[in-house]
């Protein structure tokens, strides 16, 4: 038995692969294009491990994907591969359409070709698990109930629109062709190996470098935070027991305004790595808001809990402490991802705002 994981050198995919191989001997074929967000260094502990093979390639490369499927005959494909950063999608949506929409379409077609030729028993056991986001549901008002799986799709950014499109394709490949799919829609993740363009790692890295902590607008936008390893355990559970064709919302009931997140990070750093003088909070700077910025996301994860018995292991307090500790303990990883490409992005995005 084998898994084919796509995007397994990125933040969540790599955490998934590391956690999977820590508790299972089932091999993983890891197909990743190694864009700026893909980092083989995250998988360094798997070097020489026969259970893991990293293949550099595109989910849209039908010949490559078909070859990998024929060669390894995975029992499941888990699709993490995507362009994932909202701000980048605003500056340049093209890659988001290419990978998240066209790439997912091509991947589905390659998988369908392989799956439809399998013997009946293998066809029935096969799964295509698509990893998606709560952002497809759009933005909530303060008093609205959290997103359930029945909330209408109202994506507002090029990123969320491209993920919404991919979710629709996955759904259609099930309804039309019978492909045994599962979809998970998760809230914002945080934890180890998170690329420092996203809020939490950016704030930790900037704080330690003595740089401004750029809070968009009033900082009162709300996100629902889940420790990445809890997302990975939810995906394992859905793969194991999810009902084919269903979607499952994944979240930990941890809604927080951005400014509170930044203040919490500053407080933890003040405790663990105090500055010679004053608090890291003095570096907080309010900058121009993101265009079309969604005000609030919140996930209702009751279906996953009731049907599959999944609950998160971390609270926000335990998870954020682990995360800050990880960044303090791994300065080389951070230094290595801050390549020329990363610096170009920071200059382009933050110097313009
Ligand atoms: P990431 O940007 O850290 O990693 C994406 C990975 O996909 C990278 O390794 C990249 O090299 C790879 N990739 C990109 N284009 C590819 C292509 N065409 N073919 C093969 N590989 C390609 O993203 P992440 O935060 O790990 O997110 C993983 C998935 O989870 C995405 O689908 C994202 O939409 C979803 N998601 C993310 C969050 C979050 O908070 N980060 C929350 C919910 C859902
Ligand atoms: P981000 O980590 O980019 O995730 P997403 O946009 O997918 O939710 O951003 C999380 C929140 O933090 C979002 O409301 C935007 C805000 N934010 C800032 O205020 N400053 C920043 O520098 C970044 C990257 C994000």
Alpha-carbon distance of 181 to 245, in angstroms, equals 5
Which of 31, 35, 251, when mutated, tests ligand 1's pocket best, judged by the most ligand atoms within 8 Å of its CB?
35
Closest CA to 71 of 84, 85, 57: 57
Q: Which atom of ligand 1 is nearest to the CA of 195?
A: 3
- Nearest-5° angle of CA 136, CA 138, CA 144? 130
Which of 9, 11, 190, 231, when mutated, tests ligand 1's pocket best, judged by the most ligand atoms within 8 Å of its CB?
11
Q: Is 193 helix (H, G, I), strand (E, B) or coil?
A: coil
Q: Residue 99 C-alpha to ligand 1 middle, in angstroms?
A: 10
Examine the pLDDT at 118 and tell me if it is beyond 90: yes
What pLDDT is stored for residue 344 in this prediction? 84
Cβ–ligand 2 distance for 131 under 6 Å, the answer: no
Q: Cα-Cα-Cα-Cα dihedral of 25, 30, 36, 41, to 10°?
A: 30
Cβ–ligand 2 distance for 199 under 6 Å, the answer: yes
For 231-290, how does the pLDDT look when each residue is reduced to its tens digit (9 = 90+)? Answer: 999 999 999 999 999 999 999 999 999 999 999 999 999 999 999 999 999 999 999 999
Which ligand is closest in space to the CA of residue 190?
Answer: 1
DSSP state of 102: I
Q: Is 135 a catalytic residue?
A: yes
Catalytic residue among 32, 83, 87, 134: 134
Read off the pLDDT band of 340 (50, 70, 90).
confident
Fold of 3-349: Rossmann fold (3.40.50)
**What is the average per-residue pLDDT within 186-199?**
98
Examine the pLDDT at 215 and tell me if it is beyond 70: yes
- Nearest-5° angle of CA 303, CA 307, CA 310? 80
Cβ–ligand 1 distance for 327 under 6 Å, the answer: no
Examine the pLDDT at 352 and tell me if it is beyond 80: no
Q: Is 36 a catalytic residue?
A: no
pTM: 0.98
Q: Is 260 a catalytic residue?
A: no
Q: Residue 161 C-alpha to ligand 2 middle, in angstroms?
A: 17
For 83-113, how does the pLDDT look when each residue is reduced to its tens digit (9 = 90+)? Answer: 999 999 999 999 999 999 999 999 999 999 9
Catalytic residue among 83, 87, 135, 314: 135
10 burial type by CB count under 10 A (0-12 exposed, 13-18 middle, 19+ buried): buried
The protein residue with its alpha carbon nearest to ligand 2, atom 9, reads: 199
């Amino acid at each position: 038995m084998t898994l084919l994981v796509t995007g397994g050198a990125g933040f969540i995919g790599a955490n998934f692969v590391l956690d999977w191989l820590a508790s299972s001997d089932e091999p993983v074929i890891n197909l990743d294009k190694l864009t700026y967000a893909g980092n083989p260094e995250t998988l360094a502990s798997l070097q020489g491990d026969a259970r893991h093979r990293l293949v550099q390639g595109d989910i849209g490369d039908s010949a490559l994907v078909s070859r990998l499927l024929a060669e390894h005959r995975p029992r499941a494909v888990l699709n993490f591969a995507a362009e994932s950063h909202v701000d980048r999608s605003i500056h340049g949506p093209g890659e988001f359409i290419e990978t998240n929409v066209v790439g997912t379409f091509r991947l589905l077609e390659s998988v369908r070709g392989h799956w439809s030729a399998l013997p009946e028993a293998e066809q029935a056991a096969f799964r295509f698990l698509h990893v998606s986001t709560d952002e497809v549901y759009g933005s909530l008002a303060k008093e609205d109930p959290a997103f359930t799986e029945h909330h209408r799709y109202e994506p507002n950014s090029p990123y969320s629109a491209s993920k919404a499109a991919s979710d629709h394709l996955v759904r259609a490949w099930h309804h039309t062709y019978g492909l045994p799919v599962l979809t998970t829609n998760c809230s914002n993740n945080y934890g180890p190996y998170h690329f420092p363009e996203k809020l939490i790692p950016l704030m930790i890295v900037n704080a330690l470098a003595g740089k401004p902590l750029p809070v968009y607008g009033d900082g009162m936008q709300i996100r629902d935070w889940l420790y990445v390893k809890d997302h990975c355990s939810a995906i394992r559970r859905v793969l194991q027991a999810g009902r084919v064709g269903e979607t499952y919302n994944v979240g930990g009931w941890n809604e927080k305004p951005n400014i509170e997140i930044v203040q919490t990070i500053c407080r933890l750093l003040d405790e663990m790595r105090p500055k010679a003088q004053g608090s890291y909070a003095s570096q907080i700077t309010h900058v121009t808001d993101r265009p079309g910025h969604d005000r609030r996301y919140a996930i209702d994860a009751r279906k996953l809990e009731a049907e599959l018995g999944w609950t998160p292991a971390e609270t926000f307090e335990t998870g954020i402490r682990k995360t800050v500790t990880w960044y303090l303990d791994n300065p080389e990883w951070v230094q290595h991802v801050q390549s020329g490409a990363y610096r170009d992005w920071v200059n382009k995005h933050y110097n313009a705002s």
